[in-house]
Amino acid sequence: MTGSTTRIHPRYRWIVATAVLVPTIVAGPYLFLRFATLGDIVGPGGTPRHADAALVLGAKVGDDGLPSVFLQERVDAGVNLWERGIVDIIVMSGATRPDGYDEPATMRDLALNQGVPASAIVLDRLGVDTFSSCANAAGPLGLRSVVVVTQQFHVPRATWLCQQAGLDAQGYYPPIGRRAGTVTGNVREVAADWKAVLDVWTGRGASTEGSE
């Protein structure tokens, strides 16, 4: 007796193939960056290797001058690395605007209030996005090694970009917050990771626009 087989109509084969391939392609850079930096990222309470600096990446500052929760967490984590002697200085890298918006200055003030001396803080006011922050650290600031400090969803991209800029880069992130911004951040990273890979592949220079 000859067994029978069920064949998928060619039209439906394309549907099945598309349903599998499209999500794989879309998520490709997201998965790649997490795999590429897997051994270089340390979570809350962990101890990275000693580095020249903690590269704390900027985030939103409110119209009232107060830091967003994400920014406060990043500065706190950077200060923690400095207090433990893991880094020699803290680089506050973020965006500024002519209207007085100044992420690095806000970050500096937060660190000063926690007892970090001004001599241990360096401001990078041209860190308008992650790519630029890494390029500036490796270029004008002359750093060789950094611990990049940002949220868990952002740290693989930030670490990888700094490595591509020629830095000995590790990643460090604060405790993961259970809030809408964390979910949004993970979703946003899918597109941001694509852009990061394309920026490196196309040899983009440091940016003068945008944010993280």
Overall domain count for the chain: 1
User: Could you give the 3-state DSSP secondary structure of residue 210?
Assistant: coil
Using one digit for the tens of pLDDT, what is the confidence trace for 121-142?
999 999 999 999 999 999 999 9
The boundaries of the domain holding residue 117 are: 31-201
- Other residues' Cβ atoms within 10 Å of the Cβ of residue 2: 4
Using one digit for the tens of pLDDT, what is the confidence trace for 193-209?
878 888 888 876 654 44
Whole-number mean pLDDT of the chain?
Answer: 86
User: Could you give the 3-state DSSP secondary structure of residue 38?
Assistant: helix
Residue 106 lies in a domain: yes
Model pTM score: 0.82
Residue 108 lies in a domain: yes
The enclosing domain of 155 has a CATH number of 3.40.50.620
